[in-house]
Amino acid sequence: MSHIKEYCGIFGIFNAESASRHIYLGLHALQHRGQESAGIVTSVFDEALERRVMPTHKGNGLVLDVFRKPSVFTTKLLGTSGIGHNRYSTSGASHNRSNIQPFVVHYRDGNLALAHNGNISNARELRTSFIERGTLFQTTSDSELFLHLVAQATRRKQIDKIVDALTQAEGAFSLVFLTDRSLIAVRDPNGFRPLALGRMEGAGQDGSTAYCVASETCAFDLVRAEYIRDIEPGEVLVIDSEGCENENFTSYHLGRNFGISQCIFEYVYFSRPDSIIFGETVDKVRRKIGKELAHDAPPPSVAPDEPRPIVISVPDSSNTATLGYVSECEKLGYDCRYEIGLIRNHYVGRTFISPGQDSREQQVRSKFNTVVGVLRDRVVVMVDDSLVRGTTARQLIDMVRRAGAKEVHFRVASPPVVSPCFYGMDFPSYEELLANKHGGSVEEMRQWLGVDSLAYLSIDGLTRAVRSANDSNLGYCNACFSSNYPVPVEMDVTKEENEW
Ligand code: SF4
């Protein structure tokens, strides 16, 4: 149960009847990746203007709230191609409405819309150089930089301008561009954030095939798209009418300065277990992570006359790893049983305001409750996917104790988080991280959490788990666990720094 906020979900579609409805469904499936705002842009020919236009609908809130009026799909968001975005801000203040994506501009090559997932790590440097040249910024988000880079590129063809622009950005960016003629899907050369390509047989005009891209493949399931492959790290894939005829799309490739470093935290916590990420199902990887945890941090042994320990997960993000943990414990000969000891209330939305510590505690209680009959008088092993600040975990542990648990042993299915992320995740500051507050001492953290034992999965164990589940030889970022940042970062950047 991480305190890390997820970042953004993006979805794009080309050559589909009712494109905006498909985008809506896709964004709904990707809601876990961002709950602050949502938006959709489509491309349609305007008979009166005799040119293409890009109608836009966006607002603060969940997808269901922003698109609650069905008429928006039939009267405004027309056309057979479009892009959508769910936002959690990692750059630019969340309250600033101008930061809601997708962004749309009109420039010398026509209309251009953009949806971005990630963080540009040389954003400050780029922004300063634009400001010195007199560029006017409409938003405080780093994503706007892509539009200025494209608009000011000196190449002749639009795609060359886009590729030129992308070569100047560093860091994490999975993008979808919508132009008047195409959908362009991009993953940065490191491949930090996921982006997958899907096919929708018969969803196009006259039964032709439509194509879509999404941050996670769970979005494909809702629109009945078939997963084809990932957009490769550094790939710029152009989906246009010619390419759709025989599924032969043109790809460009961005130069690579820093190797490949896909975000390993996607597997630990961010992505949904029913998604395929980086070419493998999250469910499979997460079970392997649980299995490795059983080797690194088995359950405690109990006296022969004691009932066996029960293993509970912190729902929902830890459920799959816990299943892997218990099955491996059984194989290794540890006598324990999987139980459901915590229940999560899914109807606690972002509207639940928590201005102070007391109400934050109330918020945890509103979100979770204990199953007393399961926990009373038992030795309990709690499995959590990650420990960041540790504040929620501490309250949950207290609740489990109050429910009558005899002992509480905490197992973390990832290594201690020791460094913030600068590649598109909103982490607490270095000083706020639990491991840093206690100088990395597991014993001190154990005491602060109030548990009988505390143990983490090692970095080696996490790497082994991911490698054994996913046989691809592409690399991973683990900087939040190791402090080894694969791309240089501007450490003192804050997400509100460009606010005026
Ligand atoms: S620092 Fe952590 S969260 Fe950020 S990209 Fe790397 S692995 Fe992912």
Question: Which residue's entry shows tokens 């949806």?
Answer: 115
Query: Is residue 490 predicted with pLDDT exceeding 80?
Result: no
Rounded to the nearest 10 degrees, the angle between the axes of helix 123-132 and helix 144-151 is 50
Query: Is residue 91 predicted with pLDDT exceeding 60?
Result: no
* pLDDT confidence of residue 351: 42
Q: Please name the residue whose Cα sits nearest to atom 5 of ligand 1.
A: 263
Between the two ends of the chain, the Cα-to-Cα distance in Å is 34
- Does the CB atom of residue 267 touch ligand 1 within 6 A? no
Among candidate residues 165, 102, 130, the one with its CA nearest the CA of residue 498 = 130
Query: What band does 497 get if pLDDT is binned at 50, 70 and 90?
Result: low
- Does the CB atom of residue 480 touch ligand 1 within 6 A? yes
Per-residue pLDDT tens digits for 462-482: 999 999 999 999 999 999 999
**Ligand 1 mean position to 50 CA, how many Å?**
46
Mean pLDDT of the chain: 93
Report, as an integer, the average pLDDT of 423-441: 93
SS (H, E, C) 461-484: HHHHHHHHHCCCCCCEECHHHHCC
* pLDDT confidence of residue 346: 81
Query: What band does 364 get if pLDDT is binned at 50, 70 and 90?
Result: confident
Phi and psi angles of residue 77, each rounded to the nearest 5 degrees, phi first: -85, 65
- Does the CB atom of residue 334 touch ligand 1 within 6 A? no
Catalytic residue among 8, 244, 336, 421: 8
Rounded-to-integer distance, Cα 76 and Cα 79, Å: 9
* pLDDT confidence of residue 493: 64
What percent of the chain shows pLDDT beyond 70? 93
Amino acid, single-letter form, for residue 351:
T
Within 10 angstroms of residue 250's Cβ, the number of other Cβ atoms is 14
Task: List all residues 6 or more positions away from 75 whose beta carbon is below 8 Å from its beta carbon.
Answer: none
Measured over the CA atoms of residue 245, residue 246, residue 250 and residue 256, the dihedral's sign is positive
* pLDDT confidence of residue 352: 45
User: Length of the chain in residues, anyone?
Assistant: 500
Report, as an integer, the average pLDDT of 364-392: 95
218 catalytic per annotation = no
Report, as an integer, the average pLDDT of 52-80: 97
Report, as an integer, the average pLDDT of 420-439: 92
Structural domains in the chain, sorted by start? 8-276 (3.60.20.10), 286-471 (3.40.50.2020)
Tokens of 453: 């034992």
- Does the CB atom of residue 145 touch ligand 1 within 6 A? no
Query: Is residue 58 predicted with pLDDT exceeding 80?
Result: yes
Report, as an integer, the average pLDDT of 143-148: 95
* pLDDT confidence of residue 90: 56
Report, as an integer, the average pLDDT of 226-239: 98
